Amino acid sequence: MKRIILASASPRRRQLLEKIGLSFTVEPGDLTENGEALSLDKDPVEIAKELALRKATSVASKNKEGTLIIGADTIVILNDKILGKPHTPEAAEEILSQLSGVWHEVITGVALVEAQNGKWIVDAVSTEVKMKELSEDIIKAYISTDEPLDKAGAYGIQGLGAVLVEEIRGCYYNVVGLPLAKLTEMLEYFGIKVYKIWKSNSALQELKRN
């Protein structure tokens, strides 16, 4: 079986890969992310795919044959702008105030690159998310936990941010940062069938028993 590398420092993506039983190592991709809101100059789906592919190829260039790299990038779209990852409480408060009570779009681009021959595929998944009406007290309390910092859209749906979300349309794991159903489809292109791993993964079986 190919050695798999996750080209991301995100603990959430690491946990999701572990959730489906994959064995992998982590080597963050070389991509500087901007914390400011950016206007869209092209299709946001193409932007997410491009960023994911850049992360994966930057890691592929440093590895040898038999290695498959997974790159992913999640962006949040509101009113034709990409909301960056806030690095300060003030930036997080501004983003959450904008999201309060409205629908926004979360897009994750996913790229798989084979280091041996440079073969790659890339795709993206979009999910619509509606925030509850957020009072100033709720926003400040959430920011005090530090969870919003360095997260696309200034919230983590898998954490405390779950109580801020009223409704989603589409893949939940896409909002967390890695659309697992789409990823498993893409892995099959490179001969990796996740369900076959389940049969031989003793750690996964032990987790299931517990």
- Provide the residue type at 181 as one letter: A
Helices 136-143, 89-99: axis angle to 10 degrees equals 140
Active-site residue identified among 73, 80, 123, 146: 73
8 Å CB contact between 187 and 121 = no
Q: Which residues contact 61 (CB under 8 A, 6 or more apart)?
A: 115
123 catalytic per annotation: no
Measured distance CA(152)–CA(12) in Å, rounded: 12
Other CB atoms within 10 A of residue 72 CB = 27
Rg (CA), the chain: 18
Q: Which residues contact 47 (CB under 8 A, 6 or more apart)?
A: 40, 75, 82, 109
Measured distance CA(103)–CA(155) in Å, rounded: 14
Closest CA to 1 of 56, 70, 68, 62: 68
CA–CA distance from 19 to each of 107, 178, 194 (Å)? 21, 11, 11
Residues taking part in catalysis: 73
